[in-house]
Structure 1
Amino acid sequence: MKINLLLKNARIFNAYFKQFVSGDIAILDGKFLYIGTEETDIFQPEKIIDGQGKYVIPGLIDIHMHIESSMAAPLTFSQAMAKNGVTTIVAEPHEMGNVFGLEGIKAMIDAAKDCPVDVLIAIPSSVPSTSPELETSGREIAFEDLQEMLDMDGVICLGEVMNYVDVVYKQDSKSNQFIQHVKKTKPHLAIEGHCPRLVGLELSRFIFAGVDSDHTEQTVAGLKERIANGMFVEIQEKSLKQEIVDYLMEHRLYEHFAFVTDDVMPDSLVQRGHLNVLVKKAIALGMKPENAIYAATFTPAQRMGLKDRGSIAPGKIADFVLLDNLQDFNICRTFKKGQEVFNQGEVAVEEKVDHSFPPHFYKSVQLPLLTEDCFTIKTDKADGLVTCRVMIVSSGTTFTKEEFFEIPVRNHVLDWESTSCCLAVVLERHGKNRNMGFGLVGGDVIKHGAVATTYAHDHHNLLVLGKNHKDMLKAANCVIERQGGYYVVENDAVIGKADLPIAGILSDKPLAELGKEMAGVKKALQHLGYEHTNSIMSISTLSLPVSQELKLTDKGLIKVNEQKLVPLIIE
């Protein structure tokens, strides 16, 4: 019997028994044909590979992630996936959707067509993340767009429903319309959720509406309540804590969770890896390798209804990875549909600049150069003190706390520069209204200098954070001139930068080069005193109005739990 590939002498992961068995693998037409030790003499393979006793596992499957978080174009990103043993991703392109709407999502899909891994699509359900009353995005994903995307090839679920306040309290909200339409027309599709710290009746009502997963940061109590209520939990790295892993293992909850990456910065992707990092970390925290592998292959496939992958069995797509050991989880070779897409022993092909996107995607920052008065906040009070709301940043979380500071006023101008606070400004950059929102930021933030970026979740307007007018102006104008990016400035000099010219959120450079630039940005932020385990994501989510507790958009300060605008100066 003729076959394409025979992999001999391997230790093969059986997902159904969660154990490794010794044997051979026969592959025909991109699918697994036979797994075993007998009857292999009848095969006439085009190619034979000696597994040399290596471990063979299914290709890793990441069902909740955003390509845009890597700031790399899809083809560049997917090449890194193969290197890290990931053969299927479910990408939710709401970042691009916020800039270019359905056109942007289609451009992302087109750019991913020649990728060495399968790029499946989650329909962005929350573009904008809240409403036009609370933020200005470049485009909106409307109900008609949802209907069109439901009929597209490769669409596999409704992406994360973020505005849980609308879902729970506003029956006729766009979020609920999206959910109900999917439940009615495509009842087999998963509906993904984003509900940080939601508990009790509110959580039950969120699930009742039709959203039955959560990928946000977990506590043991929150994890327990979600699983007890039938939710599927997607564990990203910030939830991979000893107490979480212990709880999952103690109660043998392996059918109820999967590992996901959500957001991986480009320097981390280059230096550490992707979904394989979470598997390795879970093993280091005490989870049996077989169970950790299960949570990165079989359960994510089951969650998304991908019956054709996630295990090594007859008829399944021949996506698999060879490992030399389970503790280090070192990726030796990756195969997609029986074809090798990565080999650790071969010299990597040099990546090229990605030209997948249309020219007008490089002209998305519709802002004139700024002047210093853009960072001046005037008040009715002539002199003295006023009480202001302040977003407090803490290392280790992207959530903020609301506190109240006394800020001096001199000649009707808020003298924020004389305090420990930074000024944050969000400027609408899509050419719609020229809105500007102001906020003060304290805690573990920069102590001098400034940073500016168009990589500001989810609306991706221009976000400027700084300790003085001059450096803020320099950073902001550099980003405007370069049509997007991340610029860090000290004493009127750029000390860290990464250009993101594609829609203001993606680079067209090779990943190694982009990763080096973003590592430089992080180093520059650390030099300015920004104390955070993920400074880029911390800054970029200061403008995310669905992430607790107090955030800033071009419309102003948002009380997230109440989904309403609140004034900066309260007396």
Structure 2
Amino acid sequence: MESNLKWLRSCDLLIQNAYVFESALCRFVQKDVAVKDGLIVDVDKALALDSQKTLDGSGKYLIPGLVDIHMHIESSMTWPGAFYKQALRWGTTTLVADPHEIANVAGLEGIHEMISNALSLDIFFGIPSSVPSTREDLETTGGILDEGEVSELLKDPHMRCLGEVMNFNDLKQEDSKTRRLIQLCKQMRPDFLIEGHCPKLTGQDLSIYLAAGVDADHTHQTPASILEKAAKGMFLEIQDKSVTLENVQTLVTHALYDHFCFVTDDCMADKLYAKGHLNEVVKKAMAYGMPQTQAIYCATYTPARRMHLDDRGMIAPGKKADLVLLRDIASWQIEAVFKDGKPIASYPIPEASFSLSLYHSIHLDPLTEEIFQLHGYQGKAVQANVMVIEPHSTFTHRVIESIPIINGQIAYEKVGLNLVMVFERYGKNGQHAFGFVRNALQSSAALATSWAHDHHNLMVMGNDAKKMCKIANQVIACQGGYGIVDDHGQAMVHLPVGGIISDGPLAVTASELEEVTRRMRQAGYVHDHPIMSFATLSLPVSPELKITDAGLIDCRRQQIIPCIERVLTDEDND
């Protein structure tokens, strides 16, 4: 008894007189917080304790560390240590990452590599459910995850959920891969969570999805989808693009605070480095009228409860001492961040360590300029299916356009289109496909990337064959990257690990990304997020028309459709 009393008389850290966030009551109350051995040991007024360190929190706000339960580290183009170090600075102390990007590149080995680089960090993982995102005949990936791989991953305590289930068409089939994976999860770990991805799913289809066990969604929401999904028992994970005035009003009016949380999903390196992480989503929600206490609640308490991380997400005795001290909430002015009761400056971040095979993942010979020239066509024009980029989302819509044939070559550039091509880069079949894009690069330029969601084959787009060839070969030579070439030169984000992430400092990746983005905008690529817009032209689960190495994909029907519908001759009317 004496030793216990002695333990209660002393602590490692004592934060005094701060306005402490009480999660259960959603309010701030001026109190002291005592921390010992990485845990909160007491929360009360005027605590009389001997402390190794005392911090005056007068006039400041103490909240739990933010918890981001749906995100992809690879989307930042960096590695776990660099990501976590920067996220800590913005107040995010817990991550649940879905490594399906690296899984598409390197399968189970890739996932193990990400886990090993995060072992000493507070990062949990979701098991990728859709690798590939559709079917092997619709896209070629470096890795494939089936029941055997998922069964092995289910034994790992770092795994908290089955990652976003994207292939609804597969889920609808009784004996499908997706259903077998869900059943396997429930057999091996009955309380294992099943995360979803269901943009525009509604009515009976939504009910089928939920009845199969998928009960969360992080995709783009509207007021109508929020109400329908919440009414049917779906947990909503609200990312930045869903934080609109109308959506926030819907969440607030219906007091849905226990039915949603904030997430980031994809956080680009330049934004993570210079602007923020989950705190930016919280700030935006507050700016649109969500009460500060409720916004904090939905970035700390509800995400922790969703993932059964009951040792965090609130400031209470016995919980992890993951704490953020704010001078101001609305502007997110951080005074200090504590991880396990220690200032984040003392939190150890390991060096990046990846196997040699991940540095040699692009198995493509240099391309020739000729492959980007669509010649050999007879007639006066072709009627083609065209992807039209939408400026505020990663969706496209499909139109059929007539494109002239000049000297036997499809002259897409004469009608303001871009040519896009995808090349299989894993050395499996050598196939490639082409398509046409509207609302992309307007001036003479070309883009190429191996960071092409989710299969991450080599995707090249532009309106000049010479430039397309040049930047494609640069990406191949670098063993991964995201590059642009224009009349003024070129810029490249170097991504040598699996062709999708950097092992260098985040500041360097952020700077490179900023320059590529600047050049894309300068070349006339008009989009809220041009980097992600181009990179998702290859995502065959995101409506409406996308492209893989197998061809143009009708995303709703999950079928390959021809790029060229018809060749027009002089006998055809205009």
- Do both proteins adopt the same fold according to a TM-score greater than 0.5, normalized to the shorter chain? yes
> CA separation of 1:208/1:221 partners in 2, compared to 1, >3 Å: closer, same or farther?
same
Residue 111 in structure 1 maps to residue 117 in structure 2: yes
Q: Which residue of 2 aligns with 1:540?
A: 535
Could you tell me which runs of 5 or more consecutive residues in structure 1 were left unpaired when the two chains were aligned: none
CA distance in 2, matches of 1:331, 1:162: 37
**Which residue among 520, 529, 533 is the counterpart of 1:525?**
520
Report the counterpart of residue 185 of structure 1 in structure 2: 188
Residue 8, structure 1, aligned to residue 16, structure 2: yes
From 367, 372, 375, the counterpart of 1:375: 372
Which residue is 2:570 aligned to? none
Q: Map residues 71-110 of structure 1 onto 2, 5 A cutoff.
A: 71-110=77-116
1:53 aligns with 2:59: yes
Query: Quick one: which of 547, 559, 566 aligns to 1:552?
Result: 547
- Residue 7 of structure 1 aligns to a residue whose secondary structure is strand
Residue 209 of structure 1: aligned partner: 212
- The equivalent of 2:400 in structure 1 is 404
CA contact under 8 A between 2:404 and 2:410: conserved in structure 1? yes
Residue 330 (structure 1) shift: 1.4
Instruction: Answer yes or no: is 1:222 the counterpart of 2:225.
Output: yes
* Amino acid of the structure 2 residue aligned with 1:480: I
Q: What residue in structure 2 maps to residue 331 of structure 1? A: 334
- Could you say what secondary structure the match of 1:160 adopts? strand
Whole-Å Cα distance in 1 between the matches of residues 39 and 32 of structure 2? 14
**Compared with structure 1, are the counterparts of its residues 484 and 506 closer, same or farther at alpha carbon in structure 2 (3 Å cutoff)?**
same
Q: Cα distance, 1:411 vs. partner?
A: 5.0
Counterpart of 2:86 in structure 1: which amino acid? A
Q: Where does residue 423 of structure 1 map in the other structure?
A: 419
Q: Partners of 1:329 and 1:411 in 2: how far apart?
A: 60
Indicate the residue corresponding to 1:28 in structure 2: 36
Q: Take 2:180 and 2:520, find their aligned partners in 1: how far apart are those partners?
A: 42
Structure 2 unmatched runs, 5+: 1-8, 567-574
Contact persistence 2:142–2:426 (CA under 8 A): yes
RMSD: 1.6
The answer as to whether partners of 2:419 and 2:434 remain within 8 angstroms in 1 is yes
Please give the residue correspondences for 1:297-308 in structure 2 after superposition, counting only pairs within 5 Å.
297-308=300-311
**Counterpart for residue 140 of structure 1:** 144
**Residue-by-residue CA offset, 1:74-100 (whole Å, 9 max, x unaligned):** 111110011010000000000000111
* Superposition deviation, residue 270 in structure 1: 1.4
Q: Distance in 2 between matches of 1:448 and 1:390?
A: 19
Kept in 2: contact 1:159–1:193 (CA 8 A): yes
CA distance, structure 2, for counterparts of residue 398 and residue 515 of structure 1 = 21
Aligned to 2:361: 364
**Structure 1 contact 382–410 (Cα < 8 Å) conserved:** no
Count of aligned pairs: 558
> Please, which moves more after superposition, 170-179 or 552-561?
170-179
Q: How do 1:142-541 residues align onto structure 2 when only pairs under 5 Å count?
A: 142-168=146-172, 170-342=173-345, 354-378=351-375, 382-410=378-406, 412-491=408-487, 494-541=489-536
Tell me how far apart the structure 2 counterparts of residues 278 and 565 of structure 1 sit (CA, whole Å).
37
Give the deviation of 1:553 after TM superposition.
Answer: 0.1
CA distance in 1, matches of 2:544, 2:441: 16
Runs of 4+ with >6 A deviation: none
Aligned partner of 2:560 in structure 1 is 565
Q: Return the alpha-carbon distance in structure 2 between the equivalents of residues 219 and 448 of structure 1.
A: 37
Aligned equivalents of 1:439, 1:24: Cα separation in 2: 62
1:376 CA drift (Å): 2.9
> 1:386-442: per-residue Cα shift (whole Å, max 9, x none)?
210000002111000000100122454322232211000000011111110111000
The whole-number CA distance in structure 2 between the counterparts of 1:167 and 1:378 is: 41
Q: 1:342 Cα shift?
A: 4.5
Instruction: State how far apart, in whole Å, the 1-side matches of 2:52 and 2:411 are.
Output: 75
Instruction: Report the 3-state secondary structure (helix = DSSP H, G, I; strand = E; otherwise coil) of the residue aligned with 1:356.
Output: coil
In 1, the alpha carbon distance for the partners of 2:465 and 2:174 equals 44
The 8 Å contact of residues 83 and 342 in structure 1, kept in 2 or not, is answered as no
* 1:129 paired residue number: 133
**Structure 2 CA distance for aligned equivalents of residues 99 and 331 of structure 1:** 37
Shift of 1:44: 2.4
* Paired residue type of 1:25: V
In 2, Cα distance between equivalents of 1:322 and 1:461? 43
- Whether the aligned pair in 1 keeps the contact of 2:441 and 2:463 (CA below 8 Å) is no
Contact between 1:75 and 1:114, CA under 8 Å: does it hold in 2? Answer: no
CA distance in structure 2 between the partners assigned to 1:412 and 1:539 by the alignment: 29
**Identical aligned pairs, as a percentage?**
46
Task: Letter of the 2:69 partner, please give it.
Answer: I
- Separation of aligned partners in 2, 1:332 and 1:404: 56
SS of 2:344 mapped into structure 1: strand
User: TM-score normalised to the size of structure 2?
Assistant: 0.95
The answer to whether the Cα contact below 8 Å between 1:333 and 1:342 also exists between their aligned partners in 2 is: no
TM-score (normalised: structure 1)? 0.95
CA deviations on 1:168-213 (whole Å, 9 max, x unpaired) are 2x22221111111112221212110001111111111111111001
SS in 2 for 1:112: coil
